[in-house]
A and B are shown apart, each in its own frame.
Chain A
Amino acid sequence: MTDLLSMEGIHKSFSGVKVLENVQFSLRQGEVHALMGENGAGKSTLMKILSGIYSKDAGSIQIQGTESAASSPKTAQALGVAIIHQELNMIPDLTISENMFLGREFKWGRTGFINWSKMAAEAKSYLQQLGMNLNPDSLVGELSVGQQQMVEIAKALSMHAKILVLDEPTAALTKREIEKLFQLITTLKTQGVGMIYISHRMEEIFQISDRITVLRDGRYIGTRDTNVTTMDELVQMMVGREIKERFPKVETKIGEERLRVERLAQDGKLYDINFSVRAGEILGIAGLMGSGRSELAKALFGVGKYQGKIFVNGKPVTIKGPAEAIKAGLALITEDRKGEGLVTDLSVRENLALPNLRTLSRLGFISHRLEQDFVEDSIQKLKVKVHHSGQEVSSLSGGNQQKVVIGKWLATQPNVLILDEPTRGVDIGAKREIYDLMNQLVQSGVSIVMISSELPEVLGMSDRILVMHEGRITGEFSRENATQETIMVAATGGKSHG
C-alpha cells in the first residue's frame, strides 16, 4: 500500500540559513504520526511547506502516490491537507456553522443569499460524525477552547481533509477535553484520516501515536514505532545528548516562612484560600484549567480586589497592584508570555529592564551603563541565546523568551517567585535549564510557587503540592505522598489529603 503522504529530501533555506536539510516524513492512512523536536528543530517549517505557506527548495512531496506540492494554503486544502493551529482561527462572534463554512456558504442558487437551514444541517452532520452534540447556531465565542478545536476539526472534515496536522492540540485543553479529543482522533483513524501530531508532551504522544519522527536542527534524526521506543531514547534523539533526569530536583534546607495567605477570596473566583511557603521551598499548585490557579497567582500580585490577609516574611501586607506586590518582594511570571509577560515589539534589553527601571535610573534618566551591565549580566546568567541585547524579543525561541521573562523578575530580587506554567511551549533543553535555575533560586533562599498543568513537572519539582478545584484548595500533599492519581482525584473535586 502506498503511503498517504510521503515527503522526501526536503530542503529549505531562509536567506542562506538552512532550516531543513534532507528531511523525510511519511504518513499512512488511519495513522497518528507524532512529529517531535525542540523548538527550532524545523517542525513548523516542514508543516508550513506541507500546507503551502512556504515553498520547498528541493525534495518531493507525494500525496497518495502522486507528486503534489501545494503552492498555497488554498491548493493544500484541495489536496486534502488541513492544519489545526495552536492558536485557533475562529471568529468568536459568528456561529459554528458560519465559521465552518466561512467563504463556502451554501446559497440559494447564485443569488448570494445564504441557505441557513442547509448550512446548519450540514454543520450538524459533520459535528455528529465526531460524536459532538453542539447546536450549529451557537456562537463560537461561547464554546470552550476544546469545543472550538473540535469545531475546527469538523470544519477540516467538511473540506474532505485526508491529512490532518494537529499543532500542540492539547496545550489549552483540560484533562477531560483531552480525553474527548483522543476519542475523536481514534474515530478519525477508523475513517482513514492520517494525522500528524505535534506536541511537547511525551505522555500524550505515547498514548495516542503509532509512530514518532524526531527532527533536530533541521535534520531528520529517525522514526520509531511508538510501542518499541522509550522516552529516554526520544529525549536523547531530540537533544542529541543524554538527559539523565527530566526533573533535576535538589534537596534544599527549608527555612523561615516567606509567604502566608489566610482566607484569601476573590468574588466568584477564589474562596477561602489558606497556605504558606517557606524559604527554599517549591510549592506546586496543580489543578485543571479554570480551577482558579492563575487567578490565585494574579490575586497575590494585586490584580483585582481580594479579601483576606497576605503576610510576607511574617508581616501583613496590602497589595493593591503589581507595583506594591513587587515592593513586598513578590514576582509573577505569567502563563501568557506574549500577552502578559513580554512587550514583543521591544528589545531583549528593554524587556529585561522594564520592572527594574527604578534601580537603573538616576533622577528619572535611564543610566545606559547600569542598564547595559545589568542586561549583559542577566543574559549570561540565564544563558539566553541572543545575538545582541538590542534584538527584538519576538525573534527568540519560546525557551529563550521565557528566560528573558524570568530574568526581568530575578533582578527585582523577589522573596517569593510565582511561576505560572514556567515551561509551557518551551523545548526540552531549555526546560532543563529552567529547572536548574529554580533549584539555584531555592538554594539561595527564595520561595517558589509553581503552577503547572503538567503533572510530571509538579510531581518532579515540588516539595509540597496544593491542588485546586473551582476556586478552592481541595488537596495538599507532601512530595512523598503525591501521585498522579491522588492529585487528579482532588483536581476533579474529590476531597483527599495525603
Chain B
Amino acid sequence: MGKVRGKSGILQRMGPLVGLILIVFILSMISSDFLTVGNIFNVLRQVSINALIAYGMTFVILTGGIDLSVGSIIALSSAFAAGMMASGTNSWLAIGIGVLSGTLMGTVNGVIIARGKVAPFIATLATMTIFRGFTLVYTEAKPITGLPDAFGIIGRGYLFEIPMPVIWMLVAFGVLYVILKFTSFGRHVYALGGNEEATRLSGINTNRVKILVYSISGLMASLSGIILTSRLNSAQPTAGTSYELDAIAAVVLGGTSLSGGKGWIVGTLIGAMIIGILDNGLNLLNVSSFYQQVVKGGVILLAVLLDRSKGK
C-alpha cells in the first residue's frame, strides 16, 4: 500500500532518502572521521531517542494532530521509573510502571482531545506544562541517581557489537511499521487524518482511534525516556525539554503531512537520521553549537519547501 500516493508518490517517497544519502556523501567527503563503524553506531545511538519519539508522533500527525507533551512525558515517566529503582523496586517492574505511566499520560491527552474536543496543540501544550510541573514536584528538581548497574544495559549495552538503543529503535520500527501498514487500526489512522467525518460515518469509532494514537505517542516517549535514563544513569527533571521539536521535524522531513492522512513511518526514520547525522557531522566539523541550530533549521525549511514545490 503506497502511503505517499499520486504521481509525485515516488519522488515524495524517495526525496527524504535522496536527501539522507546526499548528506552522508557530503559529510564523508569532508570528514574522514564520519564514515567509520564507530561513528556510525555513535550517530545511530544518538538518533534512537528521537526516532522512538518521532514514531509515536507519526501516528499522531497522521491523524492530523500534534503532541507537544512528549518531552514532559519522558521526564515524568523516567522519574517514576528511576525513583522506584533508586528505592529498591525490581528494575523490570519499575520500567513497566514507568512505561505504563507514560502511556496513560498519552491516554489523558487523547481523552482531552477526543472527548473534550480540545485542539491537540492547546491540549498537549497544557499537559506539557502540567507533566513538567509534576516532574519537578516529584523529583524536587533534583536528578535521581543510584540506579542499579544492570539497568545500564538498556541504554549502554551492546548486542553483537550493536548498541542496544539501536536495537530498540529497529525493533520498534518493525512493530509500528506492521501496525500502520497491515492492521485495520493503521488504516483507520490514515482515514481519520484524511477525513474525520467520513471515517466516523463509516462506523469507525474515531474517538477510540484518537485516544489510541496519543497513547502510542506516550508509550513511545516513555520508552525513549527509559533508554535516555539508562544512558545517563540518572533521571533528570529537565530531561526531554524541547524534544518534541526534533520529533516533529523528523516526521515532517520524512514527508508526512501536518494536515494528516498522508505519510509513512519509513520517512520518519529517515527524517530522524537526517537530523542526527547533521548534528554529528557539524560536531565533527567543529561547527559551533549556535550555528548548528541555524543549519538544522535551514535544512528543515529547505526540505519542506522542496516538498511543496513537488506537490504542486
A: which residues have CB within 8 A of B? 301, 303, 321-323, 325-326, 332, 334, 339-347, 350, 353-355, 357-358, 360-361, 364-366, 390, 392, 408, 412
Contacts and interface: CB of A to CB of B under 8 A. Distances in A.
Given A325-B203, A350-B190, A361 B195 contact: no
* Main DSSP-derived SS at the A contact region: mixed
A332 B200 CA distance: 12
A490 to B, nearest CB: 29
3 cross-chain pairs, A with B, having the tightest CB-CB distances, nearest first: A343-B194, A357-B184, A355-B202
Nearest to B183: A364
Given A339-B197, A366-B187, A392 B202 contact: no
A353 B199 CA distance: 11
A289 B188 CA distance: 32
A346 B190 contact: yes
Contact of B201 (A322, A344, A345): A322
B262 A345 contact: yes
A326 B5 contact: no
A343 B6 contact: no
Contacts of A340: 195, 197-198, 201
Interface string B195-222: 1011111111100000000000000000
Given A347-B5, A390-B5, A392-B6, A354 B197 contact: no
Contacts of B187: 350, 353-354, 357, 366
B141 to A, nearest CB: 43
Given A339-B198, A346-B194, A355 B185 contact: no
Nearest to B188: A357
B279 to A, nearest CB: 33
Contacts of B191: 343, 346, 350, 354
Of B183, B187, B200, B202, chain A has the most CB atoms within 10 Å of the CB of B202
Contact of A344 (B185, B195, B203, B205): B195
Contacts of A390: 1-2, 5
B261 A365 contact: no
Interface residues of B, number: 26
Nearest to B197: A340
B63 to A, nearest CB: 12
Contacts of A332: 201
Given A343-B195, A345-B194, A390-B2, A361 B202 contact: no
Of B2, B194, B262, chain A has the most CB atoms within 10 Å of the CB of B194
Nearest to B195: A343
Contacts of A365: 182-184
Contacts of A303: 201
B200 A322 contact: yes
A341 B184 contact: no
A414 B2 CA distance: 31
A345 B187 CA distance: 12
A266 to B, nearest CB: 17
A320 to B, nearest CB: 11
21 contacts: A301-B201, A322-B201, A323-B203, A334-B201, A339-B195, A340-B195, A342-B195, A342-B198, A343-B190, A343-B198, A343-B261, A346-B261, A350-B1, A354-B199, A357-B188, A361-B183, A361-B184, A364-B185, A390-B2, A390-B5, A408-B202
B194 A344 contact: yes
Nearest to B179: A364
Nearest to B196: A343
Nearest to A334: B201
Nearest to B178: A365
Interface string B67-100: 0000000000000000000000000000000000
A439 to B, nearest CB: 25
Nearest to B190: A346
Contacts of B184: 357-358, 360-361, 364-366
A140 B96 CA distance: 56
A366 B1 CA distance: 11
Contact of A354 (B2, B6, B202): B202
Interface string B161-186: 00000000000000000000011110
Nearest to A342: B198
Nearest to A326: B203
Contacts of A350: 1, 187, 190-191
Contacts of B183: 361, 364-366
Contacts of B195: 339-340, 342-345
